[in-house]
Amino acid sequence: MATPLGNPGDLSLRAKQTLEAVDFVLAEDTRRSGLLFAECGVEAKGFVSFHEHNEEEQLPIIISQLEQGRDIALVSDAGFPTLSDPGFRLIRALRKKGMRVSVVPGPSAILTALAASGLAPQPFVFLGFLPRKPGEQARLFAKYADAGCTLVFFERKDRLAMTLETAYAQLGQREVCIARELTKPHEEFIFGKLGTQKSDSAGKCTSDKHPINSVFPPENLLGEITVVIGPAEEFKATPKTQVLALAAWLAETEPDLKPKDLARKVSAAVRGWTAKAVYSLLQADEVSRYVK
């Protein structure tokens, strides 16, 4: 069940009714959820602690309670649980047992930041919290260098500048929106471009609260941060070498594929290539030896 990111008015009537009706609420931080419920006028019957450090040991207990006919709600500290917060393992375990799971939708930092960014919303990939080590970050960004999609992720303010430098090294210059304190009184959307962080003259940002000529990203940002990086500004089709490598791999792993079916599969997985163009490439290249 989704809970407000910051503005208590975002808790839906259905969410309030559900939270008051269930036997107990699984909360990432019971104290924080208790304060939120009090602010929203929710009278829950009880809380049970459920977070990343006790999720595995709590699973059998929760499942047992559900099998006894109890109704349970799951919330995170703010926003939509399971997407980056605890809950995925629980939902998966319940689905495997054929138990009913119902979602009460609501606030999401991912969608709020994406909608307000003005960057291409389709397709987009949510990366969650990024790895801490720059090398691991670099490998993650590299996977999406040619994907043609918008990237959304969470980052700590003290790592933000370094993360954007790593993103630039792997993705090239792209538009960025830094969304902070979503739905709260100090909500702010800061816009800039990857690759401009190190230069005071080029690294400019725009926002309602920072001067237009301030350095991007601004220093000493406060609050929770969601980052949206737009797709590449120039469309680049997947290189021929990658198309051929994928085709060769598919032809070996699925030897019964007919040439046109192989071409269709490859074109569905790469950027800028139609099935017809892939088929022509395969016929002209040595990979055609795999295509009988």
Which pTM value belongs to this model? 0.75
pLDDT value at position 276? 85
**pLDDT (tens digit, 9 = 90+) per residue, 82-96?**
888 889 999 999 999
Checking if the pLDDT of 286 tops 60, the result is: no
What are the residue ranges spanned by the domains of the chain? 8-96, 109-229, 240-290
CATH code, 8-96: 3.40.1010.10
Q: What percent of the chain has pLDDT over 70?
A: 89
Residue 289 CB neighbour total at 10 angstroms: 9
Q: Average per-residue pLDDT in the chain?
A: 87
**Res. 227 pLDDT band, cuts 50 70 90:** very high
The CATH class for the domain spanning 109-229 reads alpha beta
Q: Is the dihedral of CA 119, 214, 203, 127 positive or negative?
A: negative
What is the model's pLDDT at position 280? 83
